[in-house]
């Protein structure tokens, strides 16, 4: 018991998860463990290593109908560190598939693997109170999506035009492939206009009183047709 507590404390102090949240979407049940709890390490051991198994979904027709239990490991009790989605089928002998995503929150890519001790894992989840009957207020859970590669998400620069950018000096919009002279989309390509706008507003306020005091006829051209006065000696 003491060994497990020291092991958990050293892992947490090294920057790993400090607590775990276990939920059953279908039953609407939840439980939680802290790293100093013996069941915390037992659950981690029964779920297996993070990056072992296959990226391909197991070819089992009843997998999407299996009960799903979500196990979310939290760093500092607030930030997701790892997510295990457990799919258990009530059969003899019982079988349990686990999808483990260890790169959250960057992505939810994960590995599929079979639980080596499905009976003990099912017993632990039952003891934690997350294997109750499905309720009408629950839901089936979010099934893991296929593996998403970074190469598939990146656009082809030779075929895909770059994003449209606005020139704040002219108000024009230009679109094209990104080049060496393009600026990064960091929100800093418009800040230079702010000092000029502020100076213009201040100048307008300062000159307004003088503009109101000037008579309109002083701006009239000398050769313009208008009323004239003639001085006479009396």
Q: Which residue range is the domain that position 12 belongs to?
A: 2-148
| Structure confidence at residue 213 (pLDDT) | 55
Residue 234 lies in a domain: no
**Which long-range contacts does 44-50 make (Cβ < 8 Å, 24+ apart)?**
44/20, 46/115, 46/116, 46/117, 46/120, 46/121, 46/124, 47/71, 47/84, 47/86, 47/98, 47/100, 47/115, 47/121, 48/98, 48/100, 48/113, 48/115, 48/116, 50/82, 50/100, 50/102, 50/111
pLDDT at 162 over 70: no
| Structure confidence at residue 223 (pLDDT) | 54
128 Cβ contact list (under 8 Å, min separation 6): 22, 31, 33, 39
| Structure confidence at residue 143 (pLDDT) | 92
pLDDT at 30 over 70: yes
Higher per-residue confidence, 102 vs 90: 102
Higher per-residue confidence, 172 vs 134: 134
| Structure confidence at residue 183 (pLDDT) | 38
| Structure confidence at residue 9 (pLDDT) | 46
pLDDT band at 182 (very low <50, low <70, confident <90, very high): very low
Region 185-208 average pLDDT? 47
Of the ranges 63-67, 85-89, 123-127, which one carries the lowest mean pLDDT score?
63-67
Residue 25 lies in a domain: yes
pLDDT at 5 over 60: no
pLDDT band at 78 (very low <50, low <70, confident <90, very high): very high
Dihedral angle computed from the Cα positions of residues 223, 224, 228 and 233, in that order, rounded to the nearest 10 degrees: 0
Residue 196 lies in a domain: no
Residue 90 lies in a domain: yes
Average pLDDT over the chain, rounded to an integer: 73
pLDDT band at 114 (very low <50, low <70, confident <90, very high): very high
| Structure confidence at residue 149 (pLDDT) | 76
Residue 158 lies in a domain: no
Residue 57 lies in a domain: yes
Residue 39 lies in a domain: yes
Residue 17 lies in a domain: yes
Integer CA distances (angstroms), 18 to 11, 41, 47, 73, in order: 8, 11, 17, 8
| Structure confidence at residue 126 (pLDDT) | 95
- The number of distinct structural domains making up the chain is 1
């Amino acid at each position: 018991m003491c060994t497990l507590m020291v092991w958990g404390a050293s892992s947490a102090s090294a920057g790993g998860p400090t607590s775990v949240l276990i939920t059953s979407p279908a039953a609407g049940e939840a439980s939680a463990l802290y790293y100093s709890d013996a069941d915390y390490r037992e659950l981690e051991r029964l779920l297996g290593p993070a990056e072992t198994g296959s990226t391909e979904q197991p070819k089992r027709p009843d997998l999407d109908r299996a009960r799903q239990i979500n196990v979310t490991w939290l760093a500092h009790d607030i930030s997701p560190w790892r997510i295990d989605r457990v799919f258990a089928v009530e059969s003899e002998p019982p079988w349990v598939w686990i999808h483990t995503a260890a790169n959250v929150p960057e992505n939810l890519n994960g590995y599929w693997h079979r639980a080596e001790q499905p009976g003990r894992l099912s017993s632990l989840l039952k003891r934690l109170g997350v294997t109750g009957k499905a309720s009408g207020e629950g839901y089936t859970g979010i099934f893991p999506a296929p593996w998403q590669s970074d190469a598939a998400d990146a656009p082809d620069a030779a075929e895909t035009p770059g994003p449209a950018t606005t020139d704040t000096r002219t108000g024009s919009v230009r679109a094209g492939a990104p080049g060496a002279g393009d600026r990064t989309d960091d929100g800093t390509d418009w800040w230079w206009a702010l000092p000029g706008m502020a100076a213009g507003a201040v100048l307008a306020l300062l000159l307004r009183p003088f503009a109101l005091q000037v008579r309109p006829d002083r701006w009239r051209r000398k050769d313009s047709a208008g009323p004239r006065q003639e001085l006479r000696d009396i």
